[in-house]
Every structure is written in structure tokens, then in C-alpha cells.
Amino acid sequence: MTTTAPAPARTAAPARGRTLAGTGALVRFNLRRDRVWLPVWIGAITLFTVGSVASLQDIYLDAGDRQARADLMLNPGLRAVSGPGYGLDDYTFGAMIAHEYLSWVAIFVALMSILLTVRHTRAEEETGRAELVRAAVVGRYAPLTAAVVVVGGASIALGALLALSVGSLGLESVTQESSLLFGAAVAVIGLVFTAVAAVTAQVYESARAAGGLAGAIFGLAFVLRAAGDMSEIGGGFLSWLSPVGWSQQTRVYVADRWWPLALSVALTVILLGVAYRLSTRRDLGAGLVQSRPGAPTGSALLSSPLGLAWRLHRTSVLWWTAALALFAFAYGGLAGEVESFIEDFSAAEDIMSYVGGDSVIHAFLATILSLVGTLTAVFAVLTVLRPRSEETSGRAEPVLATATSRTSWLGSHLLIALAGSVVILALAGLGMGVTASSTLGENLIPDLIGAALAYAPAVWVTIGLGVALFGLVPRATLLVWIVIAYAGLIGSFAAILQLPEWTLDLSPFGHVPAAPAVDLTWPPLVILTAIAAALIAAGLYGFRQRDLETK
């Protein structure tokens, strides 16, 4: 007797065939991975914005003070930094928030969106984790969708938090309804650059290249906005070519126009469509732009640890140098208008006297240089922490398996951070000196270069702390950002709030003489340099003694 096997039962198509299968699980996974970073980003941006806005009523005591500030904003260079300058004829607190804070918040929101989107897309493919995830029941579009949901949701949450917190401060002309538009204007910037990073993540195989391209696109958008705002008050044609310009064209707290945000929403949808389409045109782990094959033999420069470190950091050094030099160049041109501003602004003299010295112009220049010093420390820490990412990614192990010593390998990155910070500070001082000298009719170039370089020892202390943490407690290296965040906040608000001197002493930048407002004194600079040297020595020793994290 013969039997026939029963026909196999029909089964539903496997879940992996659905392009969005597993999206919910990946969203939860990304939220878990970012359980520290998301609160830090959102909290820091919110605290900075709300703290700055809340201090306005203590600084600008009446309408005359605000109008004096508005007159200063007529300068095209300052409009390039801040915004188009609408509402200057009646400079309310609301107009001040929109004009002077929205562009700065846009920078941080865009950075948050770009870095986190690349982290959850291209970086996952580069490290090979995406391949393991995709081997499970995960659809083709699920990883990208999960990244967009998490990062885009963070932008929306930030916008909502800003709307509620700024609107509840009770400032005159700052209503809750207008604050809702302010929060939405911030949120859509995050959404646009989440979509931009989603596209660039499809282009290059390297997370660094994808993030760099997205950052360059944001830089272009910011420059277009700045050029348009310089051309005429209220924003020129070029402002309308930038997503940042669209948010500012809402004229929040003055005219409250919602419709420019529709441009950002439409661009976000288009870019996300492009990103999804491009993701189907490449293999997992590959980019649309194939990596160029390298030379058969490496150059003489790459044969040394220092040459390799320079190759890794050269783009960052050039961009940071150009950005901070231009920043100082722009603010140096305002030196000639400071005295007239002080005459009409009752609280400004008290703020400048907090800095010290007999000249309000020199006090203004010293305040700007303090900000330049803090921003230079951001570059320096990013540079000196690169060895940590090289170690955790497994790239350091094959390098250190050769005759390259640990000291020379780490020391090469350290040297780029130390020397690069000096170059940035010197060129920033030069840029400020050129414009300030031409405006005031006196040669301030040597003084301002020296004043800028005085911040080098404080920057070196942050470098030393980063190296010490990397060598001794590598998992705690991110704690160095607390020092920089504190320095930035205390440097911005100490004079405004008339905080006690000990709050400044907790920051290495608080010990730097505020030249050119006061004379440079060498003892604090020597002590800061000695502290930096001790921290660096401890970090190098610790790195030589501890085990290397391997993959």
C-alpha cells in the first residue's frame, strides 16, 4: 500500500517580508541606548535657553534699554550671527528672544539631530551591528524608521518643552500661544536635519563622512541665512533658501506666521522619501559613493602616528579654525558701537564692570574672547577623545599591535589637540584684532592675540582631564563635558547675574585674566599649565598600565 505525504500547509509570508517589521522593537532599543544622551541633549538646550531668557528682565530693565540693544542689532555683522532683525522698531522681550536666541538654538538642535541619526543608521552598519539586527525579523525600512522616530520625536519633545517653559516665564509680550510657535520653529529644524542625516547616511560608508556631509549642509544653510539677513533688515532672498531662515521668518512674538513652517515640513517629507528610496539602491553596509581604493603604499606622512593623527583630524582643525576666526572677526567689528550702546543701556555698565578694567570696549572684547576660549575647548576635547572611539571600534588594536607605542599613539592625538587649540586661539585673536583695530583706529592686534592665547592653559586643562579619564577611567571620559558645560554657562551668566567670584573659580577659564580689559598676569597661567601637565602625565601613565578594550 502506498501513501502520499500530505501537502504542506500554506503559511503566511514571513514577517521579515514586511518592510517595517520590527520597527517598534528597534524604537525601544534606540531609546534604551539613548537613555542618557537624549535627556542630556534636551535638558542642556532647554536649560540654556530658558536660563538665558529668564535673565532678560534683570538685564533690560525698561524699554529704553531694550531699544538701545535693538540699535546695536542694526549692524549687518550682528544680524548675520543672530537673525533678520524684525521687530527692532519696538524691541519687546519676545522680539529679542526670536531675534537673538532662535539661531543659536537652531545650531544645537541641528547638531543633536545629525549626530543621533547617524549614530542609529550609518554607524550601526559600519560596526556590523545592523547586519546582526537585520538577520532577525526586521524589515528593510525598520532601522531607518526607528532612527527617524526616535530623533524626530526628540526634536518634537524639545520644541514642546521649550514652548511650555518659555511661555510660563511671565515675560511681557511672551505669550503661551506665541511660545508654541517658537517651540514648533525649533522642532522643525530638528526634523529637517534628521531627514538630511538620513539621506547622507545612504551616501557614504563611513559614519564620520555621513555626519560631515550633513554638517556641511547645515553650515551652508546657516551661511545662506546669514547672507540674506545681512543684505537687508527682515531677511533677503537668500534667507528663503535656508530651513533656518524659514523658522526665523515665522516672526514669532511679533507677527506669529505659521505658514513658513510648512516649507520645512514639506522638505522633511521629501528628504525622507529620498532616504528610503536610496536605501533600496545599495547593499547593507555599502554606500552609494564607493570608497576610493587607496594607494598601493602609504605616504611617508602616514608611516608615523602623528601623520595618521593629522590625517584623522585635519578637516576638523580647518573647520574649527575658520569658524571661530570668522566669529571673532564679526564681533570685533562691533567694538566701535559699544560705547554708544553703554550710554543708553543702564545695566550694561554694571555687567562690564564685573569683567574689570577701565574701558568698556576692552571689557566687551574680553567677554567675547572668553566665549572663544570655551568653544576652542570643545574642539580640543573632541580631538583628544578620538582615541577612545578608535579603541572601542577596534581600530586601535591593529595599530598598537605594531611597533607603535601606546605613548606615541595617544601622544599624537594629544599634540594635535594642544597645538590646534593654540592655532585656533591665535587666529581668532588676529581676526578680532583686525576688525577692532580698523573700527577704533588703533592697533589692538598684538594685545588681542595675546589675550586670546591666554586661554590656552585653561583649554589644556580640559585636554588633560580628558586624557586622564581616558587613561585611568576610560568609561567615564564623557564626564569631561561637564567641565565645558559649566564653563560655558558660568561664563555666560556670571556677569549678568552678578554671581559670586567662587563660582568662576570652579572653572579653569575663571582663572584666566580678562585681557585686554585687565593686564595679563602670569602666575595663574603657569599654575593652569602645571595642572594640565600633571593630568596629561597621569593619563599617559594610566593608558600604559591598563588593558586595551578589544573586539
Comparing CA positions, the residue from 113, 107, 101, 106 lying closest to residue 169 is: 101
The identity of residue 32, as a single letter, is: R
CB atoms within 10 A of CB 476: 11
pLDDT at 16: 41
The identity of residue 410, as a single letter, is: L
Distance CA 321, CA 394 (A): 30
Comparing CA positions, the residue from 302, 539, 551 lying closest to residue 406 is: 539
pLDDT mean across residues, the chain: 85
Residue showing cell 507677527 = 255
The three three-digit cell numbers of residue 325, written as one number: 576666526
pLDDT at 536: 95
Helix 176-203 crosses helix 207-231 at what angle (to 10 degrees)? 130
pLDDT band at 235 (very low <50, low <70, confident <90, very high): confident
Residues 173-188: tens digit of each pLDDT: 889 999 999 999 999 9
At residue 18, does pLDDT exceed 90?
A: no
pLDDT band at 450 (very low <50, low <70, confident <90, very high): very high
Distance CA 143, CA 164 (A): 32
Long-range contacts of 418-423, Cβ-Cβ distance < 8 Å, separation of 24 or more? 418/380, 418/460, 418/463, 420/313, 420/317, 420/320, 420/321, 420/379, 420/380, 420/383, 421/376, 421/377, 421/379, 421/380, 421/456, 421/459, 421/460, 421/463, 422/453, 422/456, 423/317, 423/321
Helix 360-384 crosses helix 480-497 at what angle (to 10 degrees)? 170
The three three-digit cell numbers of residue 475, written as one number: 568609561
At residue 362, does pLDDT exceed 90?
A: no
Distance CA 223, CA 226 (A): 5
Helix (H, G, I), strand (E, B) or coil at 5: coil
Question: Using alpha carbons only, how large is the chain's radius of gyration in Å?
Answer: 26
CB atoms within 10 A of CB 535: 22
Distance CA 57, CA 68 (A): 15
Comparing CA positions, the residue from 374, 355, 373 lying closest to residue 363 is: 355
Q: How many CA atoms lie within 13 A of 511 on its CB side?
A: 18
Q: Is there a cis peptide before residue 516, judged by omega within 30 degrees of 0? A: yes
Report percent pLDDT > 90 for the chain: 38
pLDDT at 473: 92
Helix (H, G, I), strand (E, B) or coil at 13: coil
The identity of residue 111, as a single letter, is: L
pLDDT at 340: 63
Report which listed range, 39-53, 107-121, 288-302, 487-501, is most confident.
Answer: 107-121
Burial class (CB in 10 A: 0-12, 13-18, 19+), 252: buried
pTM: 0.79
Phi, psi of 519 (to 5 degrees): -70, 145
The answer to whether 338 and 360 have CB atoms below 8 angstroms apart is: yes
Between 320 and 235, where is the model more confident?
320
pLDDT at 257: 93
The answer to whether 335 and 440 have CB atoms below 8 angstroms apart is: yes
Residues 258-281, mean pLDDT to the nearest whole number: 94
At residue 371, does pLDDT exceed 90?
A: no
pLDDT at 69: 75
pLDDT at 339: 64
Q: How far apart, in Å, are the Cα atoms of 163 and each of 101, 182, 188?
A: 14, 6, 13
pLDDT at 15: 44
When mean pLDDT is compared across 42-51, 410-419, 536-545, the lowest value belongs to 42-51
Distance CA 304, CA 294 (A): 17
Distance CA 376, CA 322 (A): 12
Distance CA 73, CA 84 (A): 9
Residues 113-155: tens digit of each pLDDT: 999 999 999 988 887 888 888 888 888 899 999 999 999 999 9
The answer to whether 417 and 463 have CB atoms below 8 angstroms apart is: yes
Helix (H, G, I), strand (E, B) or coil at 85: coil
Residues 496-520, mean pLDDT to the nearest whole number: 79
Residues 226-233, mean pLDDT to the nearest whole number: 78
pLDDT at 14: 42
Residues 78-112: tens digit of each pLDDT: 677 777 878 888 888 888 888 888 888 998 899 99
Distance CA 464, CA 538 (A): 9
Report which listed range, 40-49, 355-364, 490-499, is most confident.
Answer: 40-49
Comparing CA positions, the residue from 384, 385, 459, 378 lying closest to residue 417 is: 384
At residue 497, does pLDDT exceed 70?
A: no
Residues 448-465, mean pLDDT to the nearest whole number: 94
Residue showing cell 577596534 = 394
